[in-house]
Each structure stands twice: as C-alpha cells, then as structure tokens.
Structure 1
C-alpha cells in the first residue's frame, strides 16, 4: 500500500502548485493503481502517475497513458530512480494494452532526459494573438449546464483527426481547475439556441489566455472574442494552438508502447508506404524487431541491422511517424499541466 500523503508531500516539494490545486488533483485524479513509487527506509523518494486517456488517430481510438507528477526528492536525484520508475511504467502499460504514452516536460532540459527513455517530441505549439471584430447584431447567449457544455466539447474534440480526448469526469475536473485559477467558460449560441462556440479562458497579468476553444464557424469565433473582450477590456487575448513541427516550438512528447500494433495501424492508414524499419528499444525489449510495412500491412520479424532502410530508436520512430506530411497534427490540451 502506498502512503498517499508522502506522494502529496513529494509533489508539493517539486511543483509550484497551490494548495487548492493539489487538493483537487489528489481528490480526483490520483489513484493508487495508477501510481508507481520508489521507497527506501519507508520513505517515498520518487513517484509518478499513469493517467489513462484515449486518443483519436487514423480513424481509431487508441489507449494513452499520460505521465503526471514525475518527481524525485532533490537529495535522491542523479541515481536513476525516475528512469527505473518509467521503465516499470512501460511494463505496466504493456500489460494494460496501452498504445502510446505522453507527457509534457515541466522544464526544457527534461526533453533530452525523456528522449533517452524513448519519448519523441511530436506535440508543437505557437502563441497567437487575436483582435476583436465589432459585431453589429449579437443575440444574447443562453445559460448552459455542464452536460450541455461537455456534449459540445466532446463532439468538437472528436472532429479533430489526432487528439487526446477527455471524459465527462475529466471535463468537470478541468472546469474546477479553471475556476481555481480565476478562469471562466464562455459559450455562445448558434442555431436555435444550441451552443455554437465554447472557450475556456484564464486572465493573467493583462492577458487573457484561451486554454482551449472550438466554434462552428467564423461568426461563432467572433462572438467568443467579443464576449471575452467585453468581460476583460484592454486585455491582450492569446491562445496556444497546435501546429506542425516546422511551425512551432516543442510542447509535449509521445512514446510508442506497442510498436507492432502502432505500425500496423500506421500502415493501414497509409497503404502507399513501403519501407523496412529496424527498431531497437532498450526499455521495452519486445518492441525490438524489424518491421516491414507494405500495401497496408506490417510484418514483424527478428531484429536485423543489415540491409535495412532505417534503424530507429523509439523517439526517432514516433517523430518519423508524426512528421509524415499526410499525418494530422497531434493535439494535446487541458492536461492539468
């Protein structure tokens, strides 16, 4: 049995989060079955959580494990404890039939650390500023329940071709976190009073950050911006949007957990691909193999490094997959990061 309070204490030591957020997280997202810890002499020295999500990609729904709260006490760092915990996490994920693992590094130097453990940078973003267009005729919006907001949110998110999805419970926690930060939900009406646009925003230091938004058309977008500017006049309106690796800066990372299954899905989505890949995976040895992608199928053979087109690490392979011009830009948002 894990001493939850010790995990809380470690979190508070390593992350600059408010007491209110910590209470919210550990009362809603934390479960012992999704937590791994390293203990010495009764003390939790290192911990992480593996939070389950789904991701729509290639017309499928894939199982995702998001790494949250990866932390080690300062005096225990440099001993490889987190590397060992993540390696164990990959074993647990394989046993749960997880396809990918994702994470958002807390600091820039951690991109290199996670890359050595197989994570590639596939989520990129850029900041965009918005100006408000005056609206001559603007009907008042209705008041919507959380269920109605989520129904619109879910439909909009599922339309994105490569996107990590959130359950209704996730959505409720996201809203609770938003309100803790002084944020607000904007919902504008479209046809027949139904929601036509939704935005989750947080004001901070003269700016209004759009954490996530979706809208049916450009008119709904203008309505959202008009409402935001009306409540926060003279604030700069900024959103962080997902973009391709050529256009943005690194934001989040992904690791392949089940290479055989992922490459089969990839081959089926792009049957024109004809290539041979040799993958060497030190943390998940069962992934180490040579994969032949041809005519929409993937064949797995024993690893060989001679006469093959490409030899990949897990990080290079996932980056190669999502840098394919035909592959949609991956989107990950509202992860309580």
Structure 2
C-alpha cells in the first residue's frame, strides 16, 4: 500500500469526514511532497500535510504553511508521535524558507496541545448576525444600482472571478491568501457543500463576490468581498431575500462579536523580525527568544530598531524573554491576522 493510500486510510480512521470530501481532498489537495509521516511497525501511524499559503504581512507577502490533517492512529496515541512529527515538520518548514506555520484546531482542547509546540491563538473572525423579518419580499433590483447573479460553480471559468478575488483579498494587510490552484479547491469544496458564489455588479463593473450556503433556515456567508462602492447592508438584504432566509450570519475580519479561529507559530524569527522592522516605528525592542527545541536557530538575542535587526546583545539594555509562542502572539497581536475559506 502506498503512503498516500495509508494516509487516506488513517484519515478515515481518525476523522468523521464523508467519502465525498475525502475524495476531493486527496484528489485536489494532497501530494506526497507536502505530506509528512511517522512510520512504525512498517506502517504510517501519524501524518499531516503542510499546505503552502502566501500571507500579506507588514507590507510584504511572506510564505506560510498550513498544517492540515494532523492525526495519529488510536493504537499509537499518547506516545509522543505527533509532537515528534510537528518538530520534524517545523524544521522542514524552516529549511524551505517558511516564516509562519498556521493551523485551525479541530477541538478546543487541542489549543493547549498545540501551544506546547509553540503555537498561539492569533487568528480571529467577526460575526455579523441578522434576523430577517421581511424575507418573503421578492428581490427588486430596480430599486438598487446593485445587480447580483449566482454563478455555476462547475461551469464558470474561475479566470472570470479570481482576479477580483485576488485583488480584494490582497487589500487585507495581514491575511492568508489563496493561490489560483487553491481557489479551485475552495470552489470545489463549496460545490460539494451545495454552497454558492454570487457576483455583485454595479453599473456593469464587478463590485463584489459572496461565498455562502444555507444551513437550515440560516444563510451562512463564509466570505464577502466588496469594492468601496458596494453597500454591505444592501448586498446582505438581497441575499437574504433570494434565499428566503429567516436568519443570516456573515463572517467578516472585524466586528463587534469576535471569535477565535486559528493558531500560528513563528518558524523563522530572524526573517520575521527583519520584515517587521521595516514598518516598526517605535523605540528599540530588545528580545531574547528561548526554549525553541524544534528550531534552535531561533533562540538568542535580537535588537529591533526601525528598519534594522541585529542579533548581538547590547550591554546596558534589558532584554525581554519570550518563548516562541509568546513572540508569535506579540508580533501578530496588533496586526489582527485573518484567514477564511480554509478546509476546516
């Protein structure tokens, strides 16, 4: 049995996903190149995939790697296999020039588990909720300069919508981005879930994209990208009317109601601080990183000044000690990192 077949079998053992999603994942997302495993007794007992994603960060686009499908066979758990696999994966990421690792814990208790490997909860999302009182009213585009049309996910060439998607996503200053190949996976997964993508058109110009699906009587908007001229409330009103939804929940980067989503881990501290220093305008930061067993190259002293980073320890300065998890949280906290449309 090939490694791929063993990993697929392990996935089915550990997760509750249906065969249709597993088929999609191993057809469109999985490759041996991004796969990491631990083998014992002649078989794969622990596995994960490190999926590359670009991310906007401090005015640049940097390399990140999203950990997907992390699992260990029930018969081999509580023996440190996943911790060892994560360490090997983090070292591989460092060698490949990755700056951050990211993941979305499948369960609440996993946040503490991943924290022991250097992760911090950094990604949040806002949630806008609306109760629709007039859903029975038909959509009347004649009273609005916005026109909305639903595309056929299986037939519409993605080249028609990806340039707009890419442009709008890149406007977000600290955000995990989707490549054209990954965008194809996103659309395929949405089609599998019987979701929809809507194009918002204003005066003949594409002014928005909305990714959504119905969950009972609730319309769940997974992503909404709008140009400045498109009205957010009007788009949601027209969507709710189209689906005759009684409730609507819309995920956005920032809102009054915020929720935890994903975790991040710094992989290359020196490279990160170099990019960070280019936009840093404060007084000197004097940082000591300690305790990174997986990537010992990260440990040591860093002096961060506007536009400059050095690894020497300056006498007379007080250095603040950070674990890799604490430094990750410190660097990303005020940047409000965001991710959406992940296969979680």
How far, CA to CA, are the matches of 2:130 and 2:338 in structure 1? Answer: 20
Q: CA deviation at 1:295?
A: 3.1
Secondary structure of residue in 2 paired with 1:178: helix
RMSD over aligned CA atoms reads: 2.4
Contact 2:208 2:230 in 1 (8 A): no
Contact 1:279 1:303 in 2 (8 A): no
How far, CA to CA, are the matches of 2:121 and 2:44 in structure 1? Answer: 30
CA deviation vs aligned residue, 1:37-83 (integer Å, no higher than 9, x gap): 11112221110000011001111010011000000111211111001
| Partner residue in 2 for 1:242 | 253
| Partner residue in 1 for 2:42 | 42
How far, CA to CA, are the matches of 2:177 and 2:283 in structure 1? Answer: 28
Deviates more, 1:52-61 or 1:123-132: 123-132
TM-score by length of 1: 0.91
| Partner residue in 2 for 1:288 | 299
- 5 Å matches for 1:62-211? 62-130=62-130, 136-138=143-145, 140-141=147-148, 145-191=157-203, 193-211=204-222
Contact 1:272 1:296 in 2 (8 A): no
How far, CA to CA, are the matches of 2:192 and 2:259 in structure 1? Answer: 28
How far, CA to CA, are the matches of 2:286 and 2:222 in structure 1? Answer: 40
Q: CA deviation at 1:267?
A: 1.5
Secondary structure of residue in 2 paired with 1:250: strand
CA deviation vs aligned residue, 1:102-132 (integer Å, no higher than 9, x gap): 0000100011111110111111123221367
CA deviation vs aligned residue, 1:178-216 (integer Å, no higher than 9, x gap): 01111011111123x221111100111221111111111
How far, CA to CA, are the matches of 2:259 and 2:241 in structure 1? Answer: 31
CA deviation vs aligned residue, 1:228-286 (integer Å, no higher than 9, x gap): 21332133110223349x96332101111110010111122113241211001122101
Contact 1:188 1:220 in 2 (8 A): no
Answering whether residue 319 of structure 2 is matched by residue 312 of structure 1, we say: no
Contact 1:288 1:303 in 2 (8 A): no
Secondary structure of residue in 2 paired with 1:301: coil
Secondary structure of residue in 1 paired with 2:63: strand
C-alpha spacing 1:273/1:130, structure 2 compared with 1 (3 Å): farther
Structure 2 portions without partners, runs of 5+: none
Q: CA deviation at 1:217?
A: 3.4
How far, CA to CA, are the matches of 1:122 and 1:63 in structure 2? Answer: 17
Secondary structure of residue in 2 paired with 1:162: coil
Equivalent residues, number: 331
Q: CA deviation at 1:164?
A: 0.7
How far, CA to CA, are the matches of 1:46 and 1:21 in structure 2? Answer: 20
- 5 Å matches for 1:256-335? 256-280=266-290, 281-301=292-312, 308-324=318-334, 328-335=335-342
Secondary structure of residue in 1 paired with 2:245: coil
How far, CA to CA, are the matches of 2:146 and 2:59 in structure 1? Answer: 37
TM-score by length of 2: 0.89
